[in-house]
Structure 1
Amino acid sequence: MLSTLLLAAMLSVGGPAQGKPNLKTPYEQGNGNQTATYDEAIQWYQKLDEAYDEVKMMPYGSTDVGRPLHLVVVSTDKDFDPASIHRKNKRVLLIQNGIHPGEPEGIDATMMLVRDYLQDKKRRKQLDNVVLAIIPVYNIGGALNRNSHTRTNQNGPESYGFRGNARNLDLNRDFIKTDSRNAQTFHQIFREWDPDVFMDNHTSNGADYQHVMTLIATQHNKLNPTLAEYLSGKMVPALYAGMKQDKFPMVPYMNHAGDTPDEGIIGFMESPRYATGYTALYNTIGFVPETHMLKPFNQRVQATYKLMEHMIGTVHRDADEIGKLRQQAKQETLTQEKFPLDWKLDTTKVTKIPFLGYEAKYKPSEVSGLERLYYDRKSPYKSMLNYYDEFTPTVTVAKPVAYIIPQAWREVIERLKTNKVQLQQLQRDTTITLDTYYIADYKTLERPYEGHYLHHGVQVDTRRMPRQFFKGDYVVYLNQPANRFLVETLEPQGVDSYFNWNFFDSILMQKEYFSSYVFEDLAAEYLRQDPELRKRLEARKKQDPEFAKSARAQLDFVYRNTPHYEYTHTMYPVGRLMQDVKLPL
């Protein structure tokens, strides 16, 4: 294990610049097993801002705990205007720390990294075409809830923050539902700065192995193909090569297929609820570094530092290429006609990856007396593991010309506005013929998940029908950078659609019913007038014995096939305009 002094020497290239304050971080002043508190991190960045004209710390919106979310920008030509920076063809690398404050090594490593780049002329040149945008601590409420016990399986630091935020939300599940003010503010930062590359620093849980660093890269199948080819063919290999050279050989995040890694590793298909799943919707290449929880904290800090160093070097090296590829990807998203909404793993496609593990063994438990798993560090090994990282779409939808959203659904409209979606409003009441979904089937979790009873397995029926819309209702054309975000949130079958996150649940409950004794005569009259309906009723009774025994169920069957049944029940309110017609906008 490296000593604290040796680690500091490796990470700090040179001392403070002449005339500059001492910018030694709280981590460096500690014993190698301590992490900066939220207040210490913000105060340190304030000192950095005061010391360097190339640094600007900006408070954005609020967070659930009431403290502002800060963005620290490092721009060597002192330009802090994101639009101007993009016009100069510079790349923006957004680094986020402390989304899970119990996984804090990114907080400390980023502070040292920024200072060292500013103080080292050679490395500083890499920032000539790369602007760093840093969120020092994203989950501020969790960072303030400091303790030494909740990361049960983690080897240090001595104290750290808590995973849940001030509302006990896991913020890495909140990028679509946006229940937190943290996520609202993140959307403001992300859409304003439009980063080319995004890093969200974490610590892993799970199996024991020799690697200090594992990595999630945006799942290539769901990334725009133009960017995916560069990511898989050039960018990821460069990061792996650099980390191997620095004696931190990486493997993909240990999302293993069985109880141990020996059974193979499955690529992480991050849906848009996750940070990198969300950023991919806007053609931003995303990474989640996951250091290994059982490694000493100073090793985890050092590995995070080195990976960010290689990330800056790679973005600097490929700055023009990344810029061109992103522009191409954005243009392709504007003209893309079909969008996948759900995926499944293709187990027929497998590659081999090198892995440094510890043998998994079993012995009697001292707690239960039953057999328990453990990893024997006295038995390290090298092997080639099966890696499954190919996914195929299971649900695909054709892009409409526009969505029309009744203004009544204000929670959805607010989230679209937070994402800077281009919205227009009808200027008068009007009837529009368009495609409308009816929710034919869905499943719901039995227990709450992040404050919601999440739906899944949604099936829809599509009906083309005239519908009444009103002055002030919203029209959202699919000719904008947010196209993919719109499709994945407004199509009910999307894994993280607003329907699945319960924002439309009121359509699932009937509002009008019937009294059986009154409807009996009316139902009989409908059956006399509609022999085909009578035939369907009799067929249903033959097929379903329970239905045949229930008078109420048979009345309901007739009721649902008459004008008395409310047409809005299970009708998804967002309409799909499939032809470009003139609207009163």
Structure 2
Amino acid sequence: MLTTLLLAALLTTGAPDKKPDLKTPYEKGNGNVTATYDQAIDWYKTFDKAYDEVKMVPYGYTDSGRLLHLVIVSTDKDFDPASIKQKNKRVLLIQNGIHPGEPEGIDATMMLARDYLQDKSKRKQLDNVVLAIIPVYNIGGALNRNSHTRTNQNGPEEYGFRGNARNLDLNRDYIKTDSRNAKLFHLIFRDWDPDVFMDNHTSNGADYQHVMTLIATQHNKLNPTLAEYLNKKMVPTLYTQMKQDKFPMVPYMNHAGDTPDEGIIGFMESPRYATGYTALYNTIGFVPETHMLKPFDQRVKATYKLMENMIETVHRDADEIGKLRAKAKQETLQQQQYPLNWQLDTTKVDKIPFLGYAAKYKPSDVSGLERLYYDRKAPYSKNINYYNTFTPTTIVEKPVAYIIPFAWHEVIDRLKTNKVDMQQLTRDTTITVDTYYIADYKTSPRAYEGHYLHTDVKVEKRTMQRQFLKGDYVVYLNQEANRFLVETLEPQAVDSYFAWNFFDSMLMQKEYFSSYVFEDLAAEYLKKDPELREKLEDRRKADLEFAKNARAQLDFVYRNTPHYEFTHNMYPIGRLMQNVKLPL
């Protein structure tokens, strides 16, 4: 009878809710296992169902044909970025698996998100901080599992591959945006406008005692208001907390010489890199780099601790960070000059504590020649030089607007992906603009990430009237994207769209002349233009090879006549310098 009543009660009220298993594949493993892409996504789906404070959002398909997801952890169950900003909450965007062979962040972030909802003391820190998590960014690379390509790395047993489904390194794709992954990242980034960004990695390079190294946004490139906070408060706090947690940090080991003993150089991340891109929008960025030779479980724990300390710091300084970013955004709107390219100032040097191993040399068992090794039986602690001051080498004046001909759709599409405000001309119009002519450049002889990069670009600026057509785009520099626009549309910038080959067709001359026909016409021009004849004579005297080359002399005259196409080497984007009324 009792059994019958109990069964009836269970059927009426339902069995007690059973909490889902939220142990991660890493926790279920042996400390040397990382989650596959499918395991990670399945875990986050379970996490989403278990907590109303979690929402998993598919953003679109990547180059792999699989969906890129964003997981939002918001303790008041508000998942609208605009509403979250109105509540003066800070957004911390955590990205994992951009290089899936460096997977610590994938595993550490799953545990971190779960623990912050299950632990009441930690949960309070999310009162004013919303977590936005990209579980696995490079899905194609994550699906390409193996145990060998991270040759120098100590675990895990299996991991993903650096290249994505198109063999692109996604940490070189933030500006050129060749991958669907990067396009989706731009949508996420511009939707959520994160205050702080973390992109979890594993290092390569020297051997040393530290488990965690850190790249912070290069302070000279960051808005000065944010840079002061970053240098004087945020970074010192993180270093202090990590030392207390038994994971003392050091800046990323970008050696000045063969070994760290000769000092290290701050990483000058251009906008092709994650934190170089995020800095364009006044987001404070970090790239944690755990040490490749440390056991995987130590690397996961160090990554977890750094993210934990980051949340605590953002929670503590939430109001300050919000005010500083608002000030930085306003200063960017008012900024009239923009630095584009940088060089290291070797006269500025700091001393930083470093826990290393003695660098020694011995004969190689392979070549018989001298080889470097680090002696773990000879640890040391000492201060080393740290060079982290850069000065701009190229500075440009901000135009009122850029005018981009409709034809350059690859550039227009990338601006749209970045949610740039643009307007179009409603009729054909003659406009006075500053126009660049490409005077010189160097081009990489080998492909780099699918392109042949232009470097050391030299320009000549001319003010001229140009005909623009109905449908051409006018992009005013009165928006949050100002710095992004300058660094992509000024051809001399290191990661400009010109540098990435999107304007190469304008570098080729389309019309020429037949020498035997142009001979008589060139002679007429020289008769009518004594100044041109004098220039030709001067060139002959200065250049004996030129004086022996008839075709070169005809070409010299040709280039100084109306027959030469004025669009050859002309950068097509116009720089509007006066705020004139345009038909928009």
Aligned residue in 2 for 1:55 = 54
Aligned residue in 1 for 2:138 = 139
The question of 1:317 aligning with 2:322 is answered no
* Aligned equivalents of 2:362, 2:541: Cα separation in 1: 57
Aligned residue in 1 for 2:529 = 530
Residue deviations 1:82-119 (CA, integer Å, cap 9, x gap): 00000000000000000000000000000011111111
Aligned residue in 1 for 2:354 = 355
Aligned residue in 1 for 2:176 = 177
- CA drift of 1:524 comes to 1.6
Task: Describe how 1:385-534 pairs up with structure 2 within 5 A.
Answer: 385-534=384-533
Residue deviations 1:173-201 (CA, integer Å, cap 9, x gap): 00000000000000000000000000000
Aligned residue in 2 for 1:9 = none
* 1:453 match: secondary structure: coil
Task: Describe how 1:70-469 pairs up with structure 2 within 5 A.
Answer: 70-469=69-468
Aligned residue in 2 for 1:3 = none
* Aligned equivalents of 1:378, 1:281: Cα separation in 2: 44
* Aligned equivalents of 2:386, 2:549: Cα separation in 1: 53
* 1:182 match: secondary structure: helix
- Answer with 572-581 or 547-556: which moved more: 547-556
Aligned residue in 2 for 1:574 = 573
Give the residue type in structure 1 aligned to 2:425.
L
* 1:148 match: secondary structure: coil
* Aligned equivalents of 1:86, 1:380: Cα separation in 2: 48
* 2:376 match: secondary structure: strand
- Answer with 412-421 or 531-540: which moved more: 531-540
- CA drift of 1:548 comes to 1.9
Residue deviations 1:358-383 (CA, integer Å, cap 9, x gap): 11111111111111111111111111
* 2:394 match: secondary structure: strand
Give the residue type in structure 1 aligned to 2:68.
L
* Aligned equivalents of 2:41, 2:544: Cα separation in 1: 68
Give the residue type in structure 2 aligned to 1:26.
P
Give the residue type in structure 1 aligned to 2:318.
A
Structure 1 residues 432 and 94, CA gap change in structure 2 (3 angstroms) = same
**Number of aligned residues:** 569
Give the residue type in structure 1 aligned to 2:96.
N
* Aligned equivalents of 2:284, 2:391: Cα separation in 1: 20
Q: Any unmatched runs of 5+ in structure 1?
A: 1-16
* Aligned equivalents of 1:164, 1:380: Cα separation in 2: 35
* 1:306 match: secondary structure: helix
* 2:130 match: secondary structure: strand
How much is the aligned-residue C-alpha RMSD, in angstroms? 0.9
Runs of 4+ in 1 over 6 A off after TM superposition: none
* 2:188 match: secondary structure: helix
* Aligned equivalents of 2:17, 2:538: Cα separation in 1: 90
* Aligned equivalents of 1:435, 1:563: Cα separation in 2: 20
* Aligned equivalents of 2:45, 2:525: Cα separation in 1: 76
- CA drift of 1:549 comes to 2.0
- CA drift of 1:545 comes to 2.3
* Aligned equivalents of 1:488, 1:127: Cα separation in 2: 35
- CA drift of 1:523 comes to 1.2
- CA drift of 1:546 comes to 2.1
* 2:462 match: secondary structure: strand
* 1:355 match: secondary structure: strand
* Aligned equivalents of 2:559, 2:370: Cα separation in 1: 56
- CA drift of 1:519 comes to 1.1
* Aligned equivalents of 1:322, 1:393: Cα separation in 2: 26
* 1:83 match: secondary structure: helix
Aligned residue in 2 for 1:7 = none
Give the residue type in structure 1 aligned to 2:521.
L
Give the residue type in structure 2 aligned to 1:306.
K
Give the residue type in structure 1 aligned to 2:117.
L
Aligned residue in 2 for 1:547 = 546
* Aligned equivalents of 2:191, 2:173: Cα separation in 1: 19
What is the TM-score when the length of structure 2 is the normalising length? 0.97
Give the residue type in structure 1 aligned to 2:568.
H
* Aligned equivalents of 1:553, 1:514: Cα separation in 2: 12
- CA drift of 1:542 comes to 2.1
What is the TM-score when the length of structure 1 is the normalising length? 0.97
Give the residue type in structure 2 aligned to 1:49.
D
* Aligned equivalents of 1:314, 1:347: Cα separation in 2: 32
Residue deviations 1:39-66 (CA, integer Å, cap 9, x gap): 0000000000000000000000210011
Q: Any unmatched runs of 5+ in structure 2?
A: 1-15
* Aligned equivalents of 2:477, 2:73: Cα separation in 1: 34
* Aligned equivalents of 1:177, 1:318: Cα separation in 2: 34
- Answer with 232-241 or 19-28: which moved more: 19-28
- CA drift of 1:265 comes to 0.5
* Aligned equivalents of 2:19, 2:196: Cα separation in 1: 30
Aligned residue in 1 for 2:7 = none
* Aligned equivalents of 2:367, 2:401: Cα separation in 1: 59
* Aligned equivalents of 2:523, 2:365: Cα separation in 1: 71
* Aligned equivalents of 1:251, 1:523: Cα separation in 2: 67
- CA drift of 1:18 comes to 8.5
Identity of aligned residues (%): 84
Residue deviations 1:370-418 (CA, integer Å, cap 9, x gap): 1111111111111111000000000000000000000000000000000
- CA drift of 1:19 comes to 4.5
Aligned residue in 1 for 2:563 = 564
Give the residue type in structure 2 aligned to 1:568.
T
